[in-house]
Amino acid sequence: MSEALVTAAPARRPIGAARFLRRNARIAIGGGIVLLMIVLAAAAPLVAGDPNSMNPMIRLEAPSAQYWFGTDNLGRDVFARTLYGGQVSLAIGFSVAILAVAGGILIGLLAGYYRRVDALVMRVMDGLMAIPAILLAIALVALTSGGIVIVVIAILLPELPREVRLVRAIVLSAREQPFVEAAIAGGARTRKILIRHILPSTFAPLTVQGTYVCASSILVEAALSFLGAGVPPSIPTWGNMIASSQLYLGLAPWTIFFPGVALAVLVLAVNLLGDGLRDWLDPRLSRRQ
Amino acid sequence: MAAYIVRRLLSTVLVMVLVGVFVFLLLHIAPGDPAAIIAGNNATPAEITAIRHELGLSDPLTVQFARWFWDLLHGNFGISIFSDTPVITLIGQRLPATLSLTALTIGFAVILAVAAGVVAAWKAGGLLDGLLMGFAALGFSTPVFVVGYFLIYLFAIRLHWLPVEGYVPLREGAWPWLSHLILPAIALGLAYVALIARITRASMLEVLAEDYIRTARAKGASNSSVLFRHALKNAGVPIVTVIGIGVALLISGVVVTETVFNIPGVGRLAVDAITNRDYPIIQGVMVIFSGAYVVINLLVDLSYALIDPRVRY
């Protein structure tokens, strides 16, 4: 553990990449798996066939040399569908994480600095937090014609309050710091204080938080696809692969096993990466956890 | 103390009103004409107008909200479009299954998670700690439906120990009721257990480093006495907080679990309403579940003083 504490100041004392990864095994393993999955998902058109091509002659075939992950009830290649499904999970996970962090910075900075909007914004955030993500998404999908944008919004809205609270808490404590007081006394404008002096201290915690948001967004997207309230069923996702194969669980468990394992491994890897980043960026916190 | 409770109650009411505003506005800010979408692709203009009228969509927004919220306070959640039954009746019929599932899950999950967290903190850095926390990380990352199908495949399809799916009311016997709920409760509870176990461990580790723990050990208190009487009591507040916050996880999980195990509960009601675009049902379920979350977290906040006498509001 004391080793890890030393690496807490990597910016000042650069160390080799290999040594960094050895000391931060969780970043190495989690990040490595995430990277591998990104490469696999991106390479799907090169290494796998058409995920939607049906062939009634090869329904529910067990994994073989030709069909590595077997085929599903419509004779579709589970390997191809698993790779393409990864594209959706990764795209939604990362876009929700980026939007949540950006939204959190914007709203959190304003709420933390302008006391007048603070109470209102925070109550609205409390209200948003109370609505279960999955039900919000179900409602949005039932009301609109669905689609990826709606799914991203539905996952984003209940995630946002956590980022806003985090940024706001940092702003509130930064406001009391001598360097901010000095900037105010020096006549710096509010916008400059917020961006130049307060914003940088949110980067480390937001990086960690953003990673966790990514993991939980991937889980919610999969659940929504599974319930039939996610992206359109014509796009293969891990969630809708499992939903469409549920009747064949006893007959062809591989149709559920492979997307299920892919999902669990990806989320585990992202969470691991988050834990590793937290240990690296905030050693004070890691000792407690 | 009394002032705190009043303040906390007021803020709870405020949050509930805000939830009401969100749920209400959702119907109105969503792109497209909700009446047309609810009516479906083959609806005639007359049918769409009828639905718009039924939902009161032609009145001013504030009037609609006041009417809707007033009805809500009187337990009137509207009428299901598809089955023409009051939503509150439908939810009432489904409530026993959902309550059975969640009560069982919370009960077993809290006991298991706190025990695992205490043991992990006690053996911190050891093999058992590593195993428990590795298991917790896995439990936190595996979605409810993947765990659910794994359990069904292993314990119902292969081993025939437990039923595959369905729900049997308690009045038809304790074992039939319980046997149908064991697998769903494990699938639903896994992430919740993982969350609470991690916080219990972290909170225990902090307390175990305190001086009075060393004093307790020095005066010869037994291991279990130190862990449970001295440490766990003082580590209680963060644990209870997470038990409350984790209910959000459970609520989303209930919707999925009831679908996987074909349990006729409130969550399943909402999922089935997607296909029919039965918006009043979805609205009602959102209000009920959000209300449950807010009330449970209110109780959690108020319980701090019971757990820790040092807490004075």
User: Rounded to an integer, what distance in angstroms lies between the CA atom of residue B156 and that of residue B153?
Assistant: 6
Per-residue model confidence (pLDDT) at position B32: 62
What's the complex ipTM? 0.84
CB-based contact A283:A5 (threshold 8 Å): yes
User: Rounded to an integer, what distance in angstroms lies between the CA atom of residue B242 and that of residue B250?
Assistant: 12
Among residues B199, B304, B187, B297, which one has the least CA distance to residue B248?
A: B297
CB pairs under 8 A between A and B: 160
Nearest CA in chain A to B207: A288
CB-based contact B307:B236 (threshold 8 Å): yes
Mean confidence (pLDDT) of chain B: 86
Of chain A residues 113-152, which have a CB less than 8 A from chain B? 123-124, 126-136, 138-145
User: Rounded to an integer, what distance in angstroms lies between the CA atom of residue A79 and that of residue A63?
Assistant: 9
Among residues A140, A158, A60, A51, which one has the least CA distance to residue A100?
A: A158
Please give the single-letter amino acid code of residue A252.
A
Per-residue model confidence (pLDDT) at position A7: 44
Residues facing A128 on adjacent strands: none
Interface residue A10 vs chain B (CB under 8 A): no
Give the residues of chain A that fall short of pLDDT 70. 1-15, 61, 283-289
Residues facing A71 on adjacent strands: A77
- ∠ CA A60-A61-A67, nearest 5°, is 125
- Using CB atoms, pick whichever of B141, B251, B259 lies closest to residue A132: B251
Per-residue model confidence (pLDDT) at position A68: 75
User: Rounded to an integer, what distance in angstroms lies between the CA atom of residue B23 and that of residue B28?
Assistant: 9
Model pTM score: 0.85
Per-residue model confidence (pLDDT) at position A13: 57
Residue contact B282–A139, C-beta within 8 A: yes
Give the residues of chain B that fall short of pLDDT 50. none
Interface residue A29 vs chain B (CB under 8 A): no
Of chain A residues 208-267, which have a CB less than 8 A from chain B? 215, 219-220, 222-223, 226-229, 239, 242, 246, 249-250, 253, 256, 260-261, 263-264, 267
- Using CB atoms, pick whichever of B14, B22, B252 lies closest to residue A223: B252
User: Rounded to an integer, what distance in angstroms lies between the CA atom of residue A129 and that of residue A162?
Assistant: 8
